[in-house]
Chains A and B, each alone.
Chain A
Amino acid sequence: EDQVTQSPEALRLQEGESSSLNCSYTVSGLRGLFWYRQDPGKGPEFLFTLYSAGEEKEKERLKATLTKKESFLHITAPKPEDSATYLCAVDTGRRALTFGSGTRLQVQP
C-alpha cells in the first residue's frame, strides 16, 4: 500500500527563519511527487512536480528536492504570507493523488 508521511505536523517560525518540511514516501512506483499549498477553506494550490531523484525546483522562497525515499520543501527567509498547510502527494501511475497529512506552517512577524 502506498504511503506518504509528512513531518513535522506543525511548524512555527519567525519571519526570516529558514526551515525544511519533510515528505517521505513508500510506493510501488513513483510517477511524480507533488507539492501543494492549501489555505484554510480553499482548494490546494499547485507548487511543484518532481519526477526523479536528484531533481530540484524553485519558486520564490520555496525549493523542492527529491530523493528515492523522500522530498524536502525548503523555505528560505519565510514571510507571514507563507503561512499555510503544505501538502505532499504522489502519483503512482493512477493519475489520482495520494496525499500526506500535511504540515501546518505558521510564520510570525
Chain B
Amino acid sequence: GAVVSQHPSWVICKSGTSVKIECRSLDFQATTMFWYRQFPKQSLMLMATSNEGSKATYEQGVEKDKFLINHASLTLSTLTVTSAHPEDSSFYICSAPDRGQETQYFGPGTRLLVL
C-alpha cells in the first residue's frame, strides 16, 4: 500500500515555543491531506483539511491561527503548532487519500509533549 511518513516521530518542547510537523506522501501525489489529533484512549478527531495551492479548511473549534497548515507541494503538508501550551500535548496524525481516493493512508503519527 501507499506510504505516508511524518517527521518528527516525537517532540518535547517548552510552553510558548512553536513546533513544525511534516507529513509526506512517499510514493504518490496528494492534492489533499488531512490532519487529525488523538488524545489518550480517544479516537481520531479531524482538525483540518490541507489543500495544495489553497488555504486549509479547519474544523469547528480548531484555531487556524494556532495550527498553521501549509501544503507546500503535492507530496508535503506541514502543521505548525504556534505558541504551544501543555493542553496541545497530543498525538498528531496525518493522512492522504490515494489517487482513486478509495483509501486513506495514515502516517505513523507525531507525539507532542509540551512542558
Name the residue of chain A whose CB is nearest to the CB of B102. Answer: A49
CA distance A32 to B98 in the complex (A): 14
Contact string against A for B residues 22-36, beta-carbon threshold 8 Å, 1 for contact and 0 otherwise: 000000000010100
B101: chain A residues at CB < 8 Å are 95
Contact B93 A44 (CB under 8 A): yes
User: With A96-B34, A96-B46 as given contacts, are A49 and B93 in contact (CB-CB < 8 Å)?
Assistant: no
Contact A97 B108 (CB under 8 A): no
Contact A87 B44 (CB under 8 A): yes
Nearest CB of A to B46, in Å: 5
Contact B109 A42 (CB under 8 A): yes
Residues of B contacting A: mostly? strand
Contact A42 B108 (CB under 8 A): yes
* Binding-face segment, A13-21, A74-82, A98-106: A98-106
B111: chain A residues at CB < 8 Å are 41
Residue count of chain B within 8 Å CB distance of chain A: 25
Contact string against B for A residues 36-59, beta-carbon threshold 8 Å, 1 for contact and 0 otherwise: 100001111110010000000000
* Residue in A36, A45, A96, A101 whose beta carbon sits within 8 Å of that of B42 in the complex: A101
Name the residue of chain A whose CB is nearest to the CB of B107. Answer: A43
- B residues lining the A interface (CB < 8 Å): 1, 4, 6, 32, 34, 42-46, 49, 91, 93, 95, 97, 101-109, 111
| Sample of 14 A–B contacts (CB below 8 Å) | A32-B102, A41-B109, A43-B4, A44-B106, A49-B103, A94-B49, A95-B32, A95-B49, A95-B97, A95-B101, A96-B46, A97-B95, A99-B44, A101-B43
* Pairs of residues from A and B, 10 with the lowest C-beta to C-beta distance, nearest first: A43-B106, A99-B43, A43-B109, A44-B106, A43-B108, A99-B44, A101-B43, A96-B46, A43-B93, A96-B34
